[in-house]
Chain A
Amino acid sequence: MTTFIELLLGGVSLGSVYALIALGFVVIFRATEVVNFAHASLLLAGGYVTAVLSDDIGFWPALLTGIASGALVGAAIEFLVLRRYRGSDHSVLAIVTIGVDILLVTDLTRRIGTDVLAVRDPWGDQLLTIGSVSLAQTRVAALLVAGLLITAFLLAFRYTSWGVAMRAAAENAGTAALMGIRLGRVSLGAWAVAGGLAAVAALFLTVFPTPGLERATSLAALKAFPAAILGGLDSTTGALAGGLIVGVTESLATGYQSDLTFLGRGLGDLAPYLVMIAILLVRPAGLLGTKETARV
Chain B
Amino acid sequence: MSEPAEHTAVRRRPYDGSRTQQRRFRSPAVPRDPRVCLWAVGTVLLLALPFYLDRFWLQAGLFAMAAAIGAIGINLLTGATGQLSMGHAFFLAVGAYGYCAFAGDGGDGLLGLGLPTWLAVPAAVATAGAAGGLFSPIAGRLRGAYLGIATLALIFIGQHVLFNAEDLTGGFNGRDVPPLSVFGLTFDDAEVTVAAVPFGAAEKLWYAGLVLLLCCGLFARGVLRDRPGRALNAIRDHRIAAGVMGVPVARYRAAVFVLSSMYAGLAGVLLALVFQRTVPDYFGMALSLEYLAMIVIGGLGSVSGAVLGAALVALLPQLLTRYSEALPLVSDPGTGGIAPGEASRYLYGAAVVAVVLFLPGGLASLTARRSSSTPGEDR
Contact = CB atoms under 8 A, between A and B. Distances in A.
B47 to A, nearest CB: 34
B352 A94 contact: no
A91 interface: yes
Nearest to B296: A95
A97 to B, nearest CB: 9
Contact of B352 (A99, A228, A266): A99
Given A95-B296, A233-B146, A285-B146, A274 B357 contact: no
Interface stretch (B151-159, B246-254, B315-323): B151-159
Contact of B350 (A90, A92, A99, A228): A99
B300 interface: yes
A128 interface: no
A3 B168 CA distance: 35
Contacts of A277: 138, 150, 153
Contacts of B84: 35, 91, 94-95
B346 interface: yes
B349 A267 contact: no
Q: Give the dominant DSSP class at B's interface.
A: helix
Contacts of B143: 292
A90 B144 CA distance: 8
A64 to B, nearest CB: 29
Contact of A100 (B152, B164, B349): B349
A233 B145 CA distance: 8
Contacts of B360: 88
Max chain A C-beta neighbours (<10 A), residue from B83, B160, B292, B360:
B160
A276 B153 contact: yes
B163 A266 contact: yes
Nearest to B143: A292
B91 to A, nearest CB: 16
A178 interface: no
Contact of A273 (B83, B152, B163, B356): B152
A264 B161 CA distance: 8
B125 to A, nearest CB: 25
Given A35-B148, A99-B349, A273-B152, A284 B141 contact: yes
Contact of B292 (A88, A90, A98): A98
A290 to B, nearest CB: 12
Interface in A55-74: none
A264 B352 contact: no
Interface in B117-173: 137-138, 141-146, 148-150, 152-153, 156-157, 160-161, 163-165
Kindly state the interface size class of chain B when it binds its partner.
Answer: 35 or more
A191 interface: no
A85 B357 contact: yes
Interface in B277-323: 285, 289, 292-293, 296, 300
Contact of A96 (B82, B137, B145, B352): B352
Contacts, number: 132
B342 A110 contact: yes
A106 B160 contact: no
A269 interface: yes
B144 A35 contact: yes
B345 interface: yes
Given A99-B296, A100-B349, A280 B138 contact: yes
Interface in A200-258: 222, 225-226, 228-229, 233
A228 B156 CA distance: 17
A294 B148 contact: no
Interface of A: 29, 35, 81, 84-85, 88-92, 94-96, 98-103, 106-107, 110, 222, 225-226, 228-229, 233, 264-267, 269-270, 273-274, 276-277, 280-281, 284-286, 292, 294, 296
Interface of B: 78, 82-84, 137-138, 141-146, 148-150, 152-153, 156-157, 160-161, 163-165, 236, 240-241, 244, 285, 289, 292-293, 296, 300, 338, 342, 345-346, 348-353, 356-357, 360
Given A35-B144, A102-B293, A103-B349, 12 more contacts: A84-B357, A88-B356, A96-B296, A96-B353, A99-B349, A110-B342, A222-B285, A233-B145, A267-B160, A273-B152, A276-B153, A281-B138
18 contacts: A81-B357, A90-B144, A98-B292, A99-B293, A99-B296, A102-B289, A102-B345, A222-B285, A229-B145, A264-B165, A270-B157, A273-B153, A273-B157, A277-B153, A281-B138, A284-B146, A294-B240, A296-B240
